[in-house]
Amino acid sequence: MIEQLKALVELQGVDTRLDELDRLQGDLPDEIADLEDTIAQLETRLERCRTENVQAEVERRQLELDIKTAEELIQRYEQQQLHVRNSREYDALSKEIEEQKQRIIDARTRIEELTGRTLRNMEIIEEAEQKLQELRLQLEAKRRELEAVLAETEQEYAFLQGQRELALQRVEPRLRQAYERIRRGVRNGRAIVPVRRGACDGCYNAVPPQRQLEIRQHNRIVICEHCGRILIDEAFYEEHARNLIRAQ
């Protein structure tokens, strides 16, 4: 049992150091993810505005052509009016002319609408492009920061991962599962804690003297009745917690 306890303490030592390395990254991973999201949203918005403007330009050109056609028709009808044989023919042509004039008015109204929307889109695009440029610079800076942290800790991280594997192999499966379960359940990732000055070092609740005695005997696993962490004699803990880390 004492070998199991030793392996557990060593494993906890490695995991505590790994947790410290993770904390060095701070909020950087989250901040980077947030920036990437914001940038993607802005890019989508920009793309939509640009597409809308291209479509508006196509429609505007078609409307210009329509206006030209209508103007030509009006000219032709007016010419024909000079050579009509009766007022019925004249009126029929007048009606055609009115229709073409209305077509021109409608087209111009629509062109104004399109122009207005295009101008608004251009403002949005300009603003978004500026914002995007800022955000991309921020993202780049954060990524460089994170890379620096990772580069600094990469070697130690790999070493510790190896040590973790070795320690895990020495712990019997039942205890390994208990260890991982307790670790997931506690806030600071410490499943194995020493008893310091008569208290659990995980939740700081007092450990009864009888239990402290059992803990010092090292022949069974003693769980803190308040937080569920595995309790270890302080001297034993201090002796072994850094075994695998020191080996580096």
Q: Of the listed pieces 5-13, 48-56, 120-128, 223-231, which binds Zn ion according to CB under 5 A?
A: 223-231
Among positions 45, 110, 131, 226, the unique one binding Zn ion when judged by CB under 5 A: 226
Q: Would you say 139 and 39 are in contact if contact means Cβ atoms under 8 Å apart? A: yes
Among positions 7, 74, 224, 241, the unique one binding Zn ion when judged by CB under 5 A: 224
Is 192 in a helix, a strand, or coil?
A: strand
241 backbone dihedrals φ, ψ, rounded to 5°: -60, -30
Q: Of the listed pieces 42-50, 147-155, 166-174, 197-205, which binds Zn ion according to CB under 5 A?
A: 197-205
Residues 111-150, interacting with Zn ion (CB under 5 A): none
Q: Would you say 43 and 132 are in contact if contact means Cβ atoms under 8 Å apart? A: yes
Among positions 18, 227, 230, 232, the unique one binding Zn ion when judged by CB under 5 A: 227
Structure tokens at 180: 């991982």
Sheet (strand 192-196) strand order? 199-200, 192-196, 230-233, 222-223
Burial class (CB in 10 A: 0-12, 13-18, 19+), 168: middle
Q: Tell me the closest approach of the beta carbon of residue 187 to Zn ion, in angstroms.
A: 12
Q: Is 223 in the site for Zn ion (CB under 5 A)?
A: no
Q: Of the listed pieces 56-64, 136-144, 174-182, 192-200, which binds Zn ion according to CB under 5 A?
A: 192-200
Chain residues that interact with Zn ion, rule: CB under 5 A: 200, 202-203, 224, 226-227
